[in-house]
C-alpha cells in the first residue's frame, strides 16, 4: 500500500480462507502494526460467500508491504556497524566520534537508533560518555555515517568506544555492535620563555648545580646553577649567577648535543677564530684547556662598560672551529634585564641574528644570563640530548675554582684557582669531578644518563650526599657514590613511609652518580630518600616547597 496523504490510512481487506492469521509489514514503516482478523464480518462482493477481514495500516506519506508472519522469503531486516573512525592514538584533548552504519535490509528502513558509548579500558563498565541519534529513512544496502557530540578525554588514558545500531524487526543481532580501543594523549603545553635574565619560567629544567661555595675570584662573581628549556623552535639556556662589573672576568659554558659532532674530549678548546674572551684570548699558549666530554659549543658572557658582552665558538670535526661575537659596544645587554640583544651581525659560528640574550645581574635567586639558540643549530629536538659544564674564567682564560658541576681546589694561586690550561679530562683531575652535567633528553626533558665514568680515582666509601637545591621546587639533584660494583637502590618516601618513587634499581660499577628527582605531581612537604648499596644503607631528608 502507498499513502501520499498526511494521515495514516487503515484499509480493511477481506481474505478468503484466512482465518486466525497475522500479517507483518516487512518495510518497518508501519512500526509494530500487524494486520489481524479483527472481526467476524463476512463480505463476498461476487458470491456473497463468507471470509474474514483484516485491517492494514499504511503510514502517512509512506508505504507498507504486508506478508504473512510465517512467510518465508528473501526479505530481511538487518543493520550493521561498519566502522568507528578513530586512530589508535589521538594527540588531542577532544574527539568528535564518527561512525559508519549500514542498512542490510531488503527494503529501505527508518527510525533506527544509533548509539555510541565510551569507557576507560581499565574499567569498561564505567561508561563516562554516551550519545544517541535517531536516523531517518535509509535505502536498502546503503551505508551512512553519523557524527556524535564531542568527547573530552584525559591525558595518557586508553578508552573503549562501543557503537550500536538497533531497529524494529532486526533479525540478525550479531553485527549490531562494534568496539574500538584508542589512546588519548593530550598534547603537552609548549613552555613560554621571555628573555629578561629572569629564570623563573616553569619550562626551565635544572642541568647542573654548583656543589660547593668556592669563590676563587672573590665574592662578587659566582655561578650557582645552569638551566635549560625549549619551545618548538628555540633552546633556552640560563646561567644563574652574578658578574663582577669591576673586572673583565666572566662566565664560561661548554655544551654537548647528541645529534651533532664537535671537538672530542681531551682536545684543546681555545684559540677559536673570530671569538673573544677566554674562547680566543689572542695568546696561543693560553688556549690549551680541555674538557672531559665532547664539546660542540663554547659560550662566554663578561662585563664591558657595565653591560653584558657575549661571544661563542662552534667546534666541528677535524679540529675545525669558528667563532662569533654576538654584538659589540655600545649595543650590549644592560645588566637589569631591560633589553634583548640579537646577533651576530654576520654569519660565523652561527648564522647572522640567530642568538638572542639578556642579563639580570641582581645576584638574586634565578637571575643571571639567559640566551636562546635555534634548535636547528644544535641538532633539533627529536632524539637529541644535552649536557654541559659551566665555570668562572678570566678574559685571559685563567680558570677559577667555581665549577658547575665539580669541586676542585687548584694550586695556581693562594685562592685555590685552577689557573691556565686546566685539563678536566686528565687523570690527575679526576678527584672533584664530574666536570659535566648529567645528560638530558631535549625531546622529553628527562635525565637519561647519570653515570660518572672513566674516573681514574674511584671512591673509597659509600656515601649519600644532601640533595641540591634544598628546599626545591619541583626538581632536585641527588648525588651518591659507590666504591665497588654493587646492587644499588635509591628510593623516595613520604613522611608516612609510603614509597613515592624508585630512582635507581640496578647494578652499578664504582663511581659517583647524580640523579634528578622531579616532584611535579607531589604535594609540598618533607620527603626522605634512601640509598641501599650492598650492605650500606643511608637516608636523608629533603623539603619540597611549592
> What are the tens digits of pLDDT across the range 150-165?
999 887 789 999 999 9
Cell of 155: 591525558
- Distance, CA of 1 to CA of 112 (rounded, Å): 22
Residue pair 90/97 in contact by the 8 Å Cβ criterion: no
Residue pair 400/393 in contact by the 8 Å Cβ criterion: yes
Question: What number of H helices and E strands is found in the chain?
Answer: 0, 40
CA distances from 312 to 271, 279, 348, 352 (A): 12, 7, 10, 13
| pLDDT attached to residue 40 | 39
Instruction: Name the residue among 422, 103, 94, 99 with its Cα closest to residue 286.
Output: 422
Look up the CATH architecture of domain 79-184.
Sandwich (2.60)
Check for a shared fold between 79-184 and 458-546.
yes
Residue pair 178/165 in contact by the 8 Å Cβ criterion: no
CA distances from 405 to 18, 117, 124, 224 (A): 100, 54, 50, 9
Q: What angle do CA 450, 525, 439 make, to 5 degrees?
A: 15
Checking if the pLDDT of 459 tops 90, the result is no
Domain boundaries, the chain: 2-68, 79-184, 205-453, 458-546
Could you report the per-residue pLDDT of 112-128, keeping only the tens digit for each?
Answer: 999 999 999 989 999 99
Work out the number of other CB atoms within 10 angstroms of the CB of residue 213: 10
Residue pair 121/181 in contact by the 8 Å Cβ criterion: yes
- Least confident segment among 32-41, 335-344, 357-366, 467-476: 32-41
Residue 314 has φ and ψ, to the nearest 5°, of: -115, 120
DSSP character for 30? T
Cell of 353: 641574528
* pTM, full prediction: 0.57
Q: What is the DSSP string of 162-199?
A: EEEEE-TT----TTSEEEEEEEE-PPPPPP----SSB-
- Distance, CA of 366 to CA of 471 (rounded, Å): 14
pLDDT-based confidence at 42, cuts 50/70/90?
very low
Burial tier of 241 (Cβ tally within 10 Å: 0-12, 13-18, 19+): buried
Could you report the per-residue pLDDT of 376-432, keeping only the tens digit for each?
Answer: 999 998 878 899 999 999 999 999 999 999 999 999 999 999 999 999 988 788 788
- Distance, CA of 241 to CA of 388 (rounded, Å): 16
Q: Which residues fall within 8 angstroms of residue 47, CB to CB, at 6 or more apart?
A: none
- Distance, CA of 60 to CA of 4 (rounded, Å): 7
Percent of the chain as helix, strand, coil, to the nearest 5: 5, 45, 55
CA distances from 358 to 73, 194, 195, 332 (A): 84, 9, 6, 9
pLDDT-based confidence at 130, cuts 50/70/90?
very high
pLDDT-based confidence at 243, cuts 50/70/90?
very high
Checking if the pLDDT of 37 tops 70, the result is no
Could you report the per-residue pLDDT of 483-494, keeping only the tens digit for each?
Answer: 888 999 999 999
Could you report the per-residue pLDDT of 192-202, keeping only the tens digit for each?
Answer: 999 999 999 98
3-state secondary structure of 377: helix
CA distances from 87 to 117, 162, 546 (A): 17, 14, 38
458-546 belongs to which CATH class? Answer: mainly beta
Rg (alpha carbons) of the chain, rounded to whole number: 38
Residue corresponding to grid cell 635549560 = 228
**In terms of pLDDT, which residue wins out, 527 or 505?**
527
Host H or E run for residue 423: none
Checking if the pLDDT of 461 tops 60, the result is yes
Amino acid at each position: 500500500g502507498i499513502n501520499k496523504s498526511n494521515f495514516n490510512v487503515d484499509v480493511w481487506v477481506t481474505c478468503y480462507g484466512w482465518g486466525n492469521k497475522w500479517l507483518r509489514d516487512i518495510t518497518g514503516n508501519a512500526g509494530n502494526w500487524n494486520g489481524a482478523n479483527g472481526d467476524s464480518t463476512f463480505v463476498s462482493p461476487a458470491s456473497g460467500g463468507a471470509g474474514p477481514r483484516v485491517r492494514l495500516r499504511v503510514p502517512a506519506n509512506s508505504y507498507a508491504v504486508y506478508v504473512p508472519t510465517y512467510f518465508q522469503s528473501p526479505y530481511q531486516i538487518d543493520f550493521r556497524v561498519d566502522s568507528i573512525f578513530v586512530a589508535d592514538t589521538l594527540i588531542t584533548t577532544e574527539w568528535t566520534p564518527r561512525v559508519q552504519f549500514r542498512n542490510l535490509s531488503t527494503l529501505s528502513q527508518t527510525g533506527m537508533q544509533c548509539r555510541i558509548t565510551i569507557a576507560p579500558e581499565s574499567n569498561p563498565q564505567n561508561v563516562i560518555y554516551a550519545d544517541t541519534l535517531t536516523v531517518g529513512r535509509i535505502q536498502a544496502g546503503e551505508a551512512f555515517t553519523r557524527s556524535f557530540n564531542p568527547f573530552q578525554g584525559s591525558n595518557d588514558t586508553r578508552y573503549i568506544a562501543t557503537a550500536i545500531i538497533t531497529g524494529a524487526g532486526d533479525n540478525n543481532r550479531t553485527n549490531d555492535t562494534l568496539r574500538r580501543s584508542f589512546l588519548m594523549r593530550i598534547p603537552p603545553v609548549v613552555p613560554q620563555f621571555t628573555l629578561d635574565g629572569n629564570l623563573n619560567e616553569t619550562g626551565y629544567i635544572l642541568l647542573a648545580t654548583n656543589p660547593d661555595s668556592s669563590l676563587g675570584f672573590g665574592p662578587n662573581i659566582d655561578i650557582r646553577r645552569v638551566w635549560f628549556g625549549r619551545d618548538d623552535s628555540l633552546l633556552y639556556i640560563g646561567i644563574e649567577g652574578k658578574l663582577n662589573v669591576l673586572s673583565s672576568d666572566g662566565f664560561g659554558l661548554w655544551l654537548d648535543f647528541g645529534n651533532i659532532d664537535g671537538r672530542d674530549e681531551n682536545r684543546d678548546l681555545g684559540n677559536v677564530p673570530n671569538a673573544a674572551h677566554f674562547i680566543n684570548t689572542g695568546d696561543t699558549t693560553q688556549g690549551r684547556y680541555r674538557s672531559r666530554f665532547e664539546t660542540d659549543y663554547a659560550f662566554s658572557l663578561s662585563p664591558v662598560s657595565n653591560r653584558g658582552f657575549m661571544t661563542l665558538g662552534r667546534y666541528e670535526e677535524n679540529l675545525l672551529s669558528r667563532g662569533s661575537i654576538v654584538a659589540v659596544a655600545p649595543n650590549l645587554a644592560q645588566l637589569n634585564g631591560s633589553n634583548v640583544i640579537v646577533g651576530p651581525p654576520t654569519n660565523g659560528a652561527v648564522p647572522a641574528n640567530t642568538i638572542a640574550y639578556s642579563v639580570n645581574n641582581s645576584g638574586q635567586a634565578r637571575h643571571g644570563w639567559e640566551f636562546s639558540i635555534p634548535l636547528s643549530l644544535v641538532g633539533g629536538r627529536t632524539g637529541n640530548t644535552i649536557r654541559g659544564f659551566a665555570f668562572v674564567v678570566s678574559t685571559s682564560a685563567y680558570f677559577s675554582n667555581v665549577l658547575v658541576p665539580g669541586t676542585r681546589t687548584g694550586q695556581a694561586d693562594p685562592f685555590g684557582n685552577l689557573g691556565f690550561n686546566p685539563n678536566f679530562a686528565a687523570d690527575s683531575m679526576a678527584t672533584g669531578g664530574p666536570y659535566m652535567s648529567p645528560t638530558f633528553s631535549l625531546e622529553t626533558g628527562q635525565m637519561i644518563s647519570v653515570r660518572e665514568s672513566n674516573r681514574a680515582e674511584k671512591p673509597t666509601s659509600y656515601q649519600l650526599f644532601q640533595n641540591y637545591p634544598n628546599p626545591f621546587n619541583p626538581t632536585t639533584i641527588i648525588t651518591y657514590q659507590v666504591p665497588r660494583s654493587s646492587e644499588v637502590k635509591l628510593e623516595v618516601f613520604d613522611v608516612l613511609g609510603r614509597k613515592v618513587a624508585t630512582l635507581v634499581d640496578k647494578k652499578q660499577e664504582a663511581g659517583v652518580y647524580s640523579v634528578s628527582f622531579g616532584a611535579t605531581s607531589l604535594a609540598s612537604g618533607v620527603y626522605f630518600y634512601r640509598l641501599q648499596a650492598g650492605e650500606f644503607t643511608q637516608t636523608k631528608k629533603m623539603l619540597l616547597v611549592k
